[in-house]
């Protein structure tokens, strides 16, 4: 059976994206009969100088706002039929406080947060928060960028690279697509920078690289044979480009993706640099929702 989410944490900041994240979190918690956590981080980082000068003046309205946001979220969850709802309010820098201070007592296996693609300074700041959570979290992170809480995923794009993390992403992505009987596309990206460095030496090496990509997609196609029930379609393709920019950019646009699923690793600094850079860049650059997978998802049996 696919790994269910037993403890889901939704980070709320009052934005439309975080309200959409709450809707996704509630829907998933209902599907898995999960415990739902709702958190708000009182962010003093951008007003730290004012806080030094007027600590009492700043503390009250920010905490009041946070209490109102979480109270509304809790009420919405309970009205939807979730009876196990925990609320957390914490002072700190959001990208660190969510993944560290809130995660430790709650121990979620999924964090759902709002996010925005690059553009204005505010969007960049919000994007850095969600990317920071992705970098620090040890569980799956679902970044919701579409503020339409009723939107469903019609086209799920799953990026694979042969790693254990991407295999988990493969199963998680198929499961997400199944929930609405929609289409999934599994892609392997041939890094054009690597190809350009090989070509001056021999075309045989390039052919080997392409052959490996075709064999890998064939392996995933074989794995998905038992997973296709309930899906509108499953397609496979080799794409070209630098993965951390091409996946959230031209590839996502070409396939009209409204959800990108990527694997990530939080094990070590080198792994974070190689795998985490792709997932973080996808979170920062994508205009659609992103699911970053760290949990060990399994196929249906």
Structural domain containing residue 139: 1-147
Same domain, 208 and 133: no
SS (H, E, C) 251-297: HHHHCCCCEEEEECCCCCHHHHHHHHHHHHHHHHHCCCEEEEECCCC
Q: Are residues 220 and 126 in the same domain?
A: no
Per-residue three-class SS string for 39-89: EEEECCHHHHHHHHHCHHHHHHHHHHHHHHHHHHHHHHHHHHCCCCEEEEE
- Which residue carries 């038992």 as its tokens? 226
CA 173 to chain CA mean position, Å: 11
Q: Of 121, 147, 173, which marks where a domain is finished? A: 147
Each residue's pLDDT expressed in tens, for the chain with a length of 301 residues: 456 899 999 999 998 999 999 999 999 999 999 999 999 998 766 566 555 655 566 667 778 889 999 999 999 999 999 999 999 998 888 888 898 889 999 999 999 999 854 444 444 444 478 888 998 899 999 999 998 888 889 999 999 988 888 899 999 999 888 887 788 999 999 887 665 655 555 566 777 878 888 998 988 888 776 556 667 788 999 998 989 899 999 999 999 999 999 998 644 444 444 445 788 889 999 999 999 999 988 876 5
- Apex 155 CA angle, 215 and 265, nearest 5: 60
Residue finishing a domain among 127, 147, 167: 147
**pTM of the prediction?**
0.87
Of 128, 147, 166, which residue is a domain's last?
A: 147
């Amino acid at each position: 059976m696919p790994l269910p989410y037993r403890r889901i944490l939704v980070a709320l900041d009052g934005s439309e994206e975080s309200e959409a994240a709450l809707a996704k979190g509630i829907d998933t918690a209902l599907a898995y009969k999960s415990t739902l956590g709702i958190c708000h981080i009182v962010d003093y980082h951008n007003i730290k100088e004012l806080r030094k000068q007027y600590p009492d003046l700043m503390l009250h309205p920010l905490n009041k706002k946070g209490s109102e946001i979480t109270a509304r979220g809790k009420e919405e969850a309970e009205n939807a039929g979730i009876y196990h709802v925990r609320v957390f309010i914490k002072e700190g820098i959001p990208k660190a406080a969510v993944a560290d201070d809130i995660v430790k007592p709650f121990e979620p296996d999924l964090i759902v947060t709002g996010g925005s693609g690059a553009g204005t300074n505010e969007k960049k700041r919000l994007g850095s928060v969600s990317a920071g959570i992705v970098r620090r979290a040890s569980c799956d992170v679902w970044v919701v960028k579409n503020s339409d809480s009723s939107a469903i995923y019609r086209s799920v794009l799953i990026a694979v690279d042969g790693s254990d993390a991407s295999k988990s992403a493969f199963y998680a992505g198929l499961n997400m697509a199944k929930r609405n009987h929609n289409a999934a596309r599994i892609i392997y990206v041939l890094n054009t920078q690597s190809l350009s460095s090989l070509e001056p030496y021999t075309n045989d090496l390039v052919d080997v690289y392409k052959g490996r990509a075709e064999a890998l997609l064939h392996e995933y196609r074989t794995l998905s044979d038992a997973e296709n029930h309930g899906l509108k379609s499953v397609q496979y393709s080799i794409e070209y480009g630098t993965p951390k920019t091409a996946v959230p950019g031209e590839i996502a646009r070409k396939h009209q993706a409204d959800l990108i699923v990527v694997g990530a690793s939080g094990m070590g600094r080198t792994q974070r640099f190689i795998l985490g850079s792709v997932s973080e860049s996808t979170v920062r650059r994508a205009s659609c929702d992103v699911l970053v997978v760290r949990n060990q998802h399994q196929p249906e049996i």
